[in-house]
Amino acid sequence: MRIPEHPILEFKKGRKISFLFNGRKFFGFEGDTISSALLANGIYVFSRSLRYKNPRGFFCGIGKCSSCLMNVNGIPNVRTCITPLEEGMDIKMQEGFADIPNIRFEGFKRKRISTDILIIGAGPAGLCAALEGTEQNAKILLADENPKLGGQLIKQTHKFFGSREEKAGTRGIEIAEQLTEDVKRKKNIEIFSQSTVFGYYEDGNEHVFGLVKRYNGYKEEIYEVRCKSAIFACGAMENMLVFPGNDLPGVYGAGGVQTLMNVHGVKPGKRVLMVGSGNVGLIVSYQLLQAGVEVAAIIEALPKIGGYHVHAAKVRRSGVPILTSHTIIKAEGKDRVEKAKIAKLDENWNVIPGSEKDIKCDTICLAVGLTPSIRLLAQTGADVRFIAEAGGYVALHNKYMETSIKGIYVAGDASGIEEASTAMLEGRIAGLSAAHFVKNREVEDKKIKPYLDGLDRLRSGDFGIRGRKAKEKILSIMEKEYGRV
């Protein structure tokens, strides 16, 4: 189902594109990914599980889970959520393990490319890092997996909080456009979109990364990227929640649903149960209403709402109930969600017998937190630690955002889950520091001070505690064990 009209967004329908799915002809539009075109056509079973052949569907929508892998033009394991739809594509559901054809790995010549700084991820942190780095005349290669730059900003239709310096009052989508435009105007920044940085290798003083660039959706070129410094601004991935039926099509990540609605103009379903009342759960619920989707309820296991009251108030006055001290017991349905069973929790997190209730819905959105994406970063040997307040394993870093490995930096959610506004400031610090590092210069503290002050401001107040604690822990371990501040 496509969104016919939207109060904030204009969906310019591109050229009509025909494609085959399991041998049947369907239509999508230019700008669709394979996943969004399938969902718009009412196709929600994307694969079958390996052992029990259970139906599986869309989940994260940003290429981070493996829920949407399909065979496209004979190539297996294509991430259909980030692969642009093209005329005549032959898309097939994968049954069981994929057969990987040898031809996939033959005849590739790798190209070599050298740069001062490789930035992995072009979201708020990566874009700001690139802009700051190029100000210092560093040569930059900015790589991102998606066709469009901006990371998760491209689906943030709400106005940002913060102060003027962090573009408060501006919608995330507009911030993405502005930053992307600025980056594209800089001669020193080479942009590799639809590109995955897949491996780390060492060679003397240089860091070497493997990069695969996709074009025409599924064709690829392999690069060997040599750089003096790298910034990991790879963001985060949505958390799963354990309950029976959590793999049914219709159980989607809240962020994935936000991408589907606000980037592709496709509704996830007709009636949604939102699980989690943090800012993501509250904001996505509001955006579902804006897209013309009914929200049955928002449930929250904690006795209080997790996100800002102002976000909760917006959905409440639109008639959506928020049920605190409630959890999801199971999702039921034949090959997609048909209902959810929820129940009330007592103060010890036990289900209160007899409180179970069925909620009729075709979609269950999970907004239960994020985990920093650090798998590639860990390959560099950077010291990673489990910091609960940061959302999981993150690289130790100092105030310059430098990890335990000289010249390797982190920024944004990949360095600890926070907000886009903090990501932009961390990106600026990382970009500035990395550019000084490649020029063998020391960063003057007065240069990063305005950004550090901005971070302090954003992390003050009741809702900044978690981020503040996470960063304090990370910085203090870094100082204690590596003597670097």
Partner 1 sequence: MEEYKRTGVLSIKDLKVPSEEYLRKGVALTECVEHIPCNPCVDACPFNAISMESLTDPPNVDYDKCTGCGNCVAVCPGLAIFIVKIKDESALVTLPYEFLPIPKAGEKVVALDREGKSKGIAEVVRVRKVGKTAVITVKTDKKNAMNVRNIRVER
Residues in touch with partner 1 (CB under 8 A): 5-8, 158-164, 168-169, 171, 289-290, 303-305, 308-320, 322, 324, 421, 457-464
Strand partners, 28: 17
How far is the C-alpha of 161 from the C-alpha of 18, rounded, in Å? 41
The sign of the torsion formed by the CA atoms of 268, 273, 275, 280 equals positive
Q: Write b or e for each residue in 401-415: b if 16 or more Cβ atoms lie within 10 A of its Cβ, otherwise e.
A: bbbbbebbbbbbbbb
Please identify which residue in the block is written with the tokens 């203090």. 476
Q: Which two tokens stand for residue 423?
A: 């990501």
Q: How far is the CB of 465 from partner 1 (least distance, A)?
A: 10
Nearer to partner 1, 283 or 365 (CB): 283
Q: How far is the CB of 308 from partner 1 (least distance, A)?
A: 5
Q: How far is the CB of 187 from partner 1 (least distance, A)?
A: 32
Nearer to partner 1, 4 or 244 (CB): 4
Nearer to partner 1, 171 or 385 (CB): 171
Q: How far is the CB of 453 from partner 1 (least distance, A)?
A: 11
Q: How far is the CB of 401 from partner 1 (least distance, A)?
A: 20
Nearer to partner 1, 229 or 290 (CB): 290
Nearer to partner 1, 69 or 458 (CB): 458
**Residues 123 and 152: beta-carbon distance below 8 Å:** yes
Phi, psi angle pair for 93, to nearest 5°: -70, 140
DSSP per position, 277-332: -SHHHHHHHHHHHHTT-EEEEEEESSSS--S-HHHHHHHHTTT--EEETEEEEEEE
Phi, psi angle pair for 356, to nearest 5°: -65, 145
Q: How far is the CB of 12 from partner 1 (least distance, A)?
A: 16
Q: Which two tokens stand for residue 136?
A: 């210092």
CB within 8 Å of 304: residues ≥ 6 apart? 324
Nearer to partner 1, 65 or 289 (CB): 289
Q: How far is the CB of 175 from partner 1 (least distance, A)?
A: 12
β-strands 322-324, 294-300 pairing: parallel
